[in-house]
Structure 1
């Protein structure tokens, strides 16, 4: 049976700031992120299986990404916890803001690496993460490919 790639797209609003950066992105700001998740696998051929013909149910893929990424990052502000931004993060949290502290500079490049790890750990056997595309603006995005990370 042929290997098939399927893609599901997601969107979420997230704020961040890049500590030590020499441009405007050192300031707290936000993006309307678009995430494309592509997995690869073989369609189910068991005629008694309720998901006959599917690589993975789009709903199952949606559940993984929604729980680990969309629901976590949507309307949150992301800071590198290893920078002085930790003080700002604590103040925002005290005021009821949703803050995520990560071990990396929250660039699209690093976020897509983080997302790849999260999604890969939850995929069922026989399904592989093929690629991710995290679009930060209309013209800027970061891509992650499994083939580049072996």
Structure 2
């Protein structure tokens, strides 16, 4: 049996800070994040279906990524719930788009969080015949974090 992998790439803008960082990242700053999801699975062999010959339609992957990650996170500010000073400050800004997460918003933690949000939605497609294999989150063009399902 042959398995295939496909990857979908999207982008969003967001801000964060790493409160205990000894360098510049302790300051408020933003990134043009890029996110890639790689799915592993078998090709659909349902004759006449719109997914025939595919693992999953790229448009369907985009829709799930948009609903789950891009729309909630685009132009948001990520803050760790333990960063009380920043959480309190952001709560004073009316209508501010803040995403409070359990951990420091490093590239690794954001990638893990995105993986945990996307995996159940993507893995449930086609009776579980596909699997979110890898999620890559670029913080900059030269720096990224991978979460890999083994």
CA RMSD of aligned residues (A): 1.1
Please name the residue that 1:23 is paired with: 23
Report the TM-score, using the length of structure 2 for normalisation. Answer: 0.92
2:138 equivalent to 1:135: yes
Deviation track 1:124-144 (CA, whole Å, cap 9, x = no partner) reads: 121101111111112111111
Whether the aligned pair in 2 keeps the contact of 1:11 and 1:34 (CA below 8 Å) is yes
Residues 1-150 of structure 1 correspond to what in structure 2 (within 5 A)?
1-84=1-84, 85-92=86-93, 94=94, 96-123=95-122, 124=125, 125-147=128-150
Work out the CA distance in 1 between the residues paired with 2:57 and 2:50: 10
Aligned mates of 2:87, 2:15 — CA distance in 1: 15
For 1:46 and 1:73, the matched residues in 2 are separated by 35
Offset of residue 50 of structure 1: 2.5
Q: Kindly provide the CA deviation profile for residues 65-88 of structure 1, in whole angstroms up to 9, marking residues without a partner as x.
A: 111111111111110112222112
Contact 1:13 1:33 in 2 (8 A): yes
* Deviation for aligned residue 1:22: 1.5
Extract structure 1 runs of 4+ deviating beyond 2 A: none
- Unaligned regions of 5+ residues in structure 1, if any? none
Which stretches in structure 2 are left out of the alignment for 5+ residues?
none
How many pairs does the alignment contain? Answer: 145
State the 1:110 CA deviation. Answer: 0.2
